[in-house]
Chain A
């Protein structure tokens, strides 16, 4: 029968399956070639590039105002933070002083983005582990954040709200009240999140001790964000290299020592609360003034190199602009968090079961367009 042919088992008796590019748990077009021994994973090889658009090449022919919008499509779940990184990098080159009001609005939006991204992640983690209900719980709260985004930025997902020198428009008059209502709603639902997933025995069994990565490995693989903080690596850019006035805000960098899926999960759960805390500090204290600094119509960065990093919902995003003095970047490099986090997948997942692979992928929280760019 054809089953005994080489298409199922390779010559050396290995059972190879292709997870993806179309697969329910890869959340995008990630393709993993997995060598199996029964249910145990012997080796993983990620195949990337299914959604590679060469945003870096595109940016080389776009002006400093326009290339920002391409980055919304990288990590589309933290689109605003990507925009912020680019805007900050251009401002660094232009040496523009951003008004305090714009900074506050940017942080508010960034934290709302982080909240909504983590909520989506939480729902998807539940979904990946076989619990469908958290997905709907998460989307209930996420929807109200999306509505805020839509009202102020004009778009729900790819906001494109940051421009060099500030933000594009002032906030909507309803903004404050809506954010406050949403925060109240989210605060009251955190318990529900904990009840339905965190405290569940099956969930703890599925995540505790699964997908371990040590702190040294996490640093060596360049892991950032909750993936590294779950291993106890202090890497929150908002704390280490504050930007846009994060240094004035009170918040904690969440560190867990477990290094497993459960630790990464707990980091993100706690980060949601920190984001709420940050927004609460700022929402009543948005400074009056301009929302955008005066900049020239055509931006030209001086000759040189500019590096700016920000903390997206998934880790450290670095924007590296090399300018030759022209109106568009000479070379631009996005150091995307997911690309580095993904490289650690093999270390985390080798020796685990297929079910664990799904859990690991969901706790790394991969967004494939950010890997492929």
Chain B
């Protein structure tokens, strides 16, 4: 499918989403509430069939967090980026997608570990890299490490 076709099909299902085509890929912008149904549709509808989630990460924009999902369809060979805005910076929460793509399990744990985003219904949400008793979320822009020495 071309970018325009994807846009049309997505808009038909989810009229609320907006688009951003400045970058390399088509960006579908949504919020934390609307993410899960959108992702389910993108995976399960055969016209999309985005079966390969190749990158899952988060960006801290200080005022809000943005979850970024890069997806590719092996059968249709098209790519889309879904961005979900999480407005609540202090207790960020979003639905998990690891029941749709298995790879999301580890990647969401990574995001939880480094950004503190809580994934609702995640089967095993623990810190993945850092110690269980680590305080703070290092990749957040407001993270302060007392032991850090400025050079």
Q: Quick check: do A and B touch in the complex, using CB within 8 A?
A: yes
A220 and B103 form a contact (CB under 8 A): yes
B70 and A307 form a contact (CB under 8 A): yes
Check if A331 is an interface residue, CB within 8 A of chain B. Answer: yes
A222-B53, A320-B55 known; A343 and B23 CB under 8 Å? no
How far, in whole Å, are A240 and B114 apart by their CA atoms in the complex? Answer: 31
Within B76-133, the residues touching A (CB, 8 Å) are: 77, 101-103, 105-107, 110, 114, 127-131
How far, in whole Å, are A202 and B74 apart by their CA atoms in the complex? Answer: 36
Check if A57 is an interface residue, CB within 8 A of chain B. Answer: yes
B129 and A307 form a contact (CB under 8 A): no
Interface size class of B (residues with CB under 8 A): 20 to 34
Residues of chain A with a CB closer than 8 A to B32's CB: none
B139 and A306 form a contact (CB under 8 A): no
Check if A304 is an interface residue, CB within 8 A of chain B. Answer: yes
B130 and A343 form a contact (CB under 8 A): no
Residues of chain A with a CB closer than 8 A to B52's CB: 219, 222
How far, in whole Å, are A16 and B46 apart by their CA atoms in the complex? Answer: 43
Contact of A343 among B25, B59, B70, B102 (CB under 8 A): B102
Check if A54 is an interface residue, CB within 8 A of chain B. Answer: yes
B101 and A220 form a contact (CB under 8 A): yes
Residues of chain B with a CB closer than 8 A to A350's CB: none
CB distance from B139 to the nearest CB of A (A): 6
Check if B40 is an interface residue, CB within 8 A of chain A. Answer: no
A220 and B51 form a contact (CB under 8 A): yes
Of A136-144, A262-270, A334-342, the segment with at least 4 beta carbons within 8 Å of chain B is: A334-342
CB distance from A331 to the nearest CB of B (A): 5
Residues of chain A with a CB closer than 8 A to B103's CB: 220-222, 340, 343
Contact of B57 among A219, A234, A235, A333 (CB under 8 A): A333
A49-B129, A306-B24, A307-B25 known; A221 and B102 CB under 8 Å? yes
Residues of chain B with a CB closer than 8 A to A49's CB: 127-131
How far, in whole Å, are A56 and B141 apart by their CA atoms in the complex? Answer: 12
Residues of chain A with a CB closer than 8 A to B110's CB: 339
- Count chain A CB atoms within 10 A of each CB in B22, B103, B107, B127 and give the residue with the most: B103
**Which residue in chain A gives the minimum CB-CB distance to B124?**
A45
B106 and A342 form a contact (CB under 8 A): yes
Check if B54 is an interface residue, CB within 8 A of chain A. Answer: yes
Contact of B24 among A52, A307, A316, A343 (CB under 8 A): A307
How far, in whole Å, are A318 and B105 apart by their CA atoms in the complex? Answer: 18
Contact of B55 among A92, A234, A333 (CB under 8 A): A333
Contact of B23 among A52, A217, A306, A331 (CB under 8 A): A306
Check if B47 is an interface residue, CB within 8 A of chain A. Answer: no
Can you give 28 A-B contacts (C-beta < 8 A)? Answer: A48-B128, A49-B128, A54-B114, A54-B129, A54-B139, A56-B139, A57-B139, A220-B51, A221-B102, A222-B103, A233-B74, A234-B74, A235-B74, A305-B23, A305-B24, A306-B24, A307-B25, A307-B70, A320-B55, A320-B57, A320-B70, A331-B59, A331-B60, A333-B55, A335-B54, A340-B107, A344-B102, A372-B129
**Interface residues, chain B, CB within 8 Å of chain A?**
22-25, 51-55, 57, 59-60, 68, 70, 74, 77, 101-103, 105-107, 110, 114, 127-131, 138-139
A-B contacts besides A49-B127, A49-B130, A307-B23, 14 pairs, CB < 8 Å: A52-B129, A52-B130, A54-B129, A220-B102, A222-B52, A306-B23, A307-B70, A318-B55, A320-B57, A320-B68, A322-B59, A339-B106, A340-B103, A343-B102
**9 residue pairs, one from A and one from B, having the closest CB atoms:** A222-B103, A49-B129, A52-B129, A343-B106, A333-B57, A335-B55, A220-B102, A221-B102, A331-B59
